[in-house]
Structure 1
Amino acid sequence: MKRAFWRSFAGYNAVLLSVGAVALLTIVSAAFVYSGRAQREAGDALKAARVDRLVLEVISDLVDAETAQRGFIITRTASYLAPYETTLAEFERHVAELRLRAGEIDEGRAIPEAAIDELVTLGRRKMELVKTNLAEVEAGHLDETRVVIASDQGKLIMDAVRGKGAAVREIASAHRIRSAERMREASATLTTLISLGVAMIVVLAVGAAAFIRRHMRDLEAARRDLIEANEDLEQRVGERTRGVLRANEELQRYAYIVSHDLRAPLVNIMGFTAELETATATLRAFVDRHGGDRSDPVVAQAHIAAEEDVPEALGFIRTSMTRMDGLINEILKLSRAGRRLLEPESLDTRDLVEGCVAAIRQRFDEVEAEVTIEGQLPTIVSDRAGLEQIFTNLLDNEAKYLVVGRPGRIVVRGRIERADAIFEVEDNGRGVAEADRERIFELFRRAGPQDRPGEGIGLAHTRAMARRLGGDVTVSSDGANGTMFRVVVAKDLALRIRRGET
């Protein structure tokens, strides 16, 4: 349910974000397009306005030249010639700029180049006429100059210039109006797109808020369901745990009772066996002294019974009793260990492992095995006696199953992972077959060739103790080149006990 909820939430979010992203990307792209178009149209309108201004500048230059001419003719004052010279230079500059700006409008297609040429030609004719008149006046040909002026030639040229200038201005003005109109359209479209973008953002924000609110309600409902499920699960787990603990206590009590009750008849058997051994010695002495002729089959059979059969049978009985006594002792030890109260304390596990190695050093010396503690083992809070039993059992087991003729090597290492302490006890012995990796932890079960002493209790006791300490014991092996036992215990056993987790 929880996974489906988050998949739904993520799916809706992805769809919402995708739609919003596509819509906003489209709006932004269109905004860029129309913004660029508005900028281009504004540029074209500005260029058309410049052409209009330059046409007026050209006409103004011609008017200024004609004014300077009249002033000089009337007053014969040379100061009127200075404005003429300035106007002549400005005229050429304005003409050059006019050609340049006219060619920029719509790549030169808006204003015909011929119209600009005609305007410039008329302007230059006017300038040439003014220049000629001024030269005639300076030469003293005043009458001839008056005749030229009276002929209205200059006026006709100026009228033509104004007509051509008006035509060019009309073209530029029309282009400017069209560009301004297109600019307004692009700006209006851009404004609409921006408004749509804002509206889309508002819609997405409102939709996202509503969607998140709905999912928060669903999440809160799921959280309440999860809390109820956890409480129910904790209750059931608690009940089952208490049931398991009760069953375990009963099993341990039963094992203790059975072991105690088995010991009584075993002691009796051992006592009677001792009496039989004494009686057998007496019987043997009697047979030796009064046995008669050994050639007699009955006498020979009596000698064999007293000297061989009965002692051998009693030896088998005593060996079986010794083994049974060992099994009962192990069961009692296992029962007492399961009922013993754990005593968590801070432990330097390196010192603890070194103590376990020292306790069974003779075993390692017998098999010529080297034990190495690799790196720094962690400090944890756990039960000292329990950990000593775990490491002693594992180290003894690995020393027991080393390969004859192969230098024995046992390595112990450890680390902390979150709330657990993990230890590895590895050897280069004969290994454990895959089929036996769980069987060796079962009570009274052993794996591989039965050529080493043991009752099949040590590893079962080791796993039981590791589980009491908040962890477990597992084994890995390739079946031929060594074994590694992995021991996991709680890093802080006292905390686990307070929480009721072990």
Structure 2
Amino acid sequence: MALAFVALIGSAGTAGWFVMRAQEHATWVEHTYEVERRVSTLRVLIERLEVARRGYLLTRNPQTKRTFIATVKGEAPLIAEIKRLTVDNPVERQNIADIEQLTITHLGLLSRSMMLADRDPALAIAIFNHDQSLGITRQLRETTAAMLDEENRLLEPRIEAQREAVRILFYALAFAGALAVATAIFSILVLRRYTTNLVQTREAVEKLNDELEDRVEERTRDLSRANEEIQRFAYIVSHDLRSPLVNVMGFTGELEAAAKPLAALIDKVEAEAPQLLDQDAALAAREDLPESIGFIRTSTQKMDRLINAILRLSREGKRVLTPERLDLTQLADAIVASLQHRLDEIGATITVQRGMPTVVVDRLAAEQMLSNLVENAVKYLKPGVPGRITVSATVDRGKVDIAIADNGRGIDPRDHDRIFDLFRRSGQQDQPGEGIGLAHVRALAYRLGGFVDCKSALGEGATFTLSLPVQPVIQG
């Protein structure tokens, strides 16, 4: 089929070339006719000059003189046009040169006769009967006739060449037409076979899609059940951990309260009976016991924060999402306003793109995701470097991509995936946090039918992109 189209294109190109050749031959034929027309017009002007002079010598009619003057004015431009048209023909160039010389002499003789006729008509007629004007007129007739003969000589082969080009063009067009018909028939056969295969393939794809949809629905149900089980498990575990943690925190408080009178007793013994004081016991009461209590309290506080975070995640997973139309520019402005005091302290600025699109999304979920990403950008700026954070959004194929870009510390590319895992963090841990925020963002984005992504390198800042559907797609 490809060869047929190549041949068709080739034949069309050949036909086009012959069209150009035929047009070229037609142009030369037209050129020849134009030269002949101009030469014939020149012959008429020459005869008109001679007739006008004779008429004026006989009648001295002013109209005849005006005709003579108008004819003289038109002769020179006509000769110049003929000269331009025949510049490519040496024979015609010589003929037109002879005409120019004869015309100069001829006009001189005619002009003298016309002027003399006004002063002495009899003398003008006598000179007319004996001057050379008639001979020159005869030479002009012969030269212009020679030019017409030369053009006729050129016309015959040009017409024949034009006819030959038209004949070849006809054959080429006939071949191209036959080839086009054959190609069309072949294309129809191929398209019919392709259409048949396409219909069969479409039916097979529809069958596979039906099976796939059934599998997806089944897997979605399984995933929903598993997610519910995980949420219940997280709630139960968090609730069950809370009780022993409260006991540990309570007994830690009692130990801390008991350590104070013990330390006072050590101080009293050291002051009143130092010989009874054991240095190891004093060190344990004054330093080891408070330090251990501090470690226990710090660990229990961290455990308490983790349990609270797990409970929040569990409750968030159960919360019914309520989509509403939300202006991202207004939401971002509100988040920036809430952080303005912190921004002023560290000398950072947040630029919010004007005219960001609106989305239909759960307001609380959107606020939590965007706040978390912006606060993380503020938290991990480079010390000593003015922080620059931008919030922008673009719409692409039914999704809005919200980008939060900063010039902060950056994230090692090896950690781009793990930072979204629960309790996982990256880089230097000099900022407060439990490693739950980004996991929460990813979980919410998934429930809303979107995702979150990170592009970053160490020392080059980071860009988090939150992609959400423009219209709500709530996952279970």
TM range (shorter): 0.5 to 0.7
- Matched residues in 2 for 1:24 and 1:348: separation? 59
Count of residues in Structure 1 that have an aligned counterpart in Structure 2: 365
Contact 2:359/2:471 (CA < 8 Å) preserved in 1? yes
Instruction: Give 1:328 deviation, angstroms.
Output: 0.8
Relative to structure 1, is the Cα distance of residues 458 and 24 closer, same or farther in structure 2, using a 3 angstrom cutoff? closer
What residue ranges of structure 1 are gaps of 5+ in the alignment?
A: 1-11, 38-94, 110-179
- Name the % identity: 42
Q: Deviations over 1:366-393 (max 9, x none)?
A: 4232222132222111111111111211
Residues 119-134 of structure 1 aligned to structure 2 (within 5 Å): none
Structure of greater Rg? 1
Contact 2:269/2:276 (CA < 8 Å) preserved in 1? no
Instruction: Give 1:28 deviation, angstroms.
Output: 7.9
Residues 487-498 of structure 1 aligned to structure 2 (within 5 Å): 487-493=466-472, 496-497=473-474
Instruction: Give 1:447 deviation, angstroms.
Output: 1.4
- Matched residues in 2 for 1:98 and 1:268: separation? 132
Residues 344-363 of structure 1 aligned to structure 2 (within 5 Å): 344-363=323-342
Relative to structure 1, is the Cα distance of residues 386 and 254 closer, same or farther in structure 2, using a 3 angstrom cutoff? same
Relative to structure 1, is the Cα distance of residues 380 and 192 closer, same or farther in structure 2, using a 3 angstrom cutoff? closer
Relative to structure 1, is the Cα distance of residues 440 and 193 closer, same or farther in structure 2, using a 3 angstrom cutoff? closer
| Matched letter for residue 5 of structure 2 | L
Residues 31-430 of structure 1 aligned to structure 2 (within 5 Å): 198-289=177-268, 293-298=273-278, 300-430=279-409
Q: Is it true that 1:18 corresponds to 2:19 in the alignment?
A: no
- Matched residues in 2 for 1:384 and 1:185: separation? 82
Instruction: Give 1:324 deviation, angstroms.
Output: 0.7
Relative to structure 1, is the Cα distance of residues 262 and 362 closer, same or farther in structure 2, using a 3 angstrom cutoff? farther
- Matched residues in 1 for 2:347 and 2:144: separation? 108
Instruction: Give 1:232 deviation, angstroms.
Output: 2.6
- Matched residues in 2 for 1:108 and 1:416: separation? 70
Relative to structure 1, is the Cα distance of residues 282 and 108 closer, same or farther in structure 2, using a 3 angstrom cutoff? closer
| Matched letter for residue 323 of structure 1 | K
- Matched residues in 2 for 1:238 and 1:316: separation? 50
Contact 1:409/1:428 (CA < 8 Å) preserved in 2? yes
- Matched residues in 2 for 1:406 and 1:108: separation? 88
Relative to structure 1, is the Cα distance of residues 288 and 227 closer, same or farther in structure 2, using a 3 angstrom cutoff? same
Contact 1:471/1:490 (CA < 8 Å) preserved in 2? yes
Relative to structure 1, is the Cα distance of residues 24 and 268 closer, same or farther in structure 2, using a 3 angstrom cutoff? same
| Matched letter for residue 274 of structure 1 | G
Q: Deviations over 1:16-60 (max 9, x none)?
A: 3223334566678789999999xxxxxxxxxxxxxxxxxxxxxxx
TM-score normalised to the size of structure 2?
0.65
Instruction: Give 1:353 deviation, angstroms.
Output: 1.7
| Matched letter for residue 270 of structure 1 | M
Q: Deviations over 1:216-256 (max 9, x none)?
A: 21222222222223223333333333333332222222222
What residue ranges of structure 2 are gaps of 5+ in the alignment?
A: 26-141
Relative to structure 1, is the Cα distance of residues 263 and 195 closer, same or farther in structure 2, using a 3 angstrom cutoff? same
Relative to structure 1, is the Cα distance of residues 23 and 453 closer, same or farther in structure 2, using a 3 angstrom cutoff? same
Relative to structure 1, is the Cα distance of residues 319 and 105 closer, same or farther in structure 2, using a 3 angstrom cutoff? closer
| Matched letter for residue 241 of structure 1 | T
SS in 1 for 2:426: coil
- Matched residues in 2 for 1:452 and 1:187: separation? 89
Moved more, 352-361 or 425-434: 352-361
SS in 1 for 2:408: coil
Considering only aligned residues, what root-mean-square deviation do their CA atoms show, in Å? Answer: 4.1
